[in-house]
């Protein structure tokens, strides 16, 4: 009582498809596969609100480098009407397409928290410190 050759062939093909699908959706234990990729150059603009109450428009260029599966370093240069400055940051994946970390601006000796949410080729960036806050939208 052997199986019909067509049924046997169908079963083997179905098994191969299931294995292929499992390999495609298998979760990476580091979470790197589910995290949005920040690596590369991003440009855009937003605003900076100083503790004094002043607010200025700003343009930024940010470059992210992956340091591990879900952590990145950031170097950014931003310009406002009052000048140009650079920041560095280290960020880690906190879930979904969100990253959180700390930044430092050596030009003004300001440090604080950075929060990034990625949606495709767009990201929103929030920075908070004792000197003020900033909000940007960057694109690849």
pLDDT digits (tens, 9 = 90+) for 69-115: 899 999 999 999 989 999 999 999 999 999 999 999 999 999 999 99
Domain enclosing residue 66, as ranges: 40-139
Per the CB < 8 A criterion, the answer to whether 126 and 134 are in contact is yes
- What does pTM read for this prediction? 0.75
| Whole-number Cα distances in Å, 23 to 18, 48, 128 | 9, 45, 41
Q: How many domains does the chain have?
A: 1
In CATH, what number is assigned to the domain containing residue 101? 2.40.128.120
pLDDT in tens, 29-73: 444 445 788 999 999 999 999 999 999 999 999 999 999 989 999
Q: Is residue 5 in some structural domain?
A: no
**Apex CA 140: angle with CA 30 and CA 104, to 5°?**
70
CB 102 within 8 A of CB 113: yes
Query: Does some domain include residue 4?
Result: no
Asked if residue 131 is part of any domain, the answer here is yes
Q: Residue 6 falls within a domain, yes or no?
A: no
């Amino acid at each position: 009582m052997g199986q019909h050759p067509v049924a046997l062939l169908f079963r083997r093909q179905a098994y191969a498809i299931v294995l292929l699908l499992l390999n495609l959706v298998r979760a990476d234990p580091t979470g790197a596969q589910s995290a949005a990729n920040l690596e590369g150059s991003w440009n855009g603009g937003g605003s900076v609100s100083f503790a004094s109450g002043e607010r200025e428009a700003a343009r930024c260029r940010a470059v992210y480098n992956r340091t591990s599966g879900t952590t990145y370093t950031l170097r950014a240069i931003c310009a406002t009407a009052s000048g140009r400055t650079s920041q560095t940051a280290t960020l880690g994946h906190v879930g979904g397409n969100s990253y959180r970390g700390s930044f430092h601006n050596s030009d003004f000796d300001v440090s604080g928290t950075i929060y990034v949410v990625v949606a495709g080729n767009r990201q929103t960036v929030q920075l908070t410190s004792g000197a003020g806050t900033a909000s940007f939208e960057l694109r690849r």
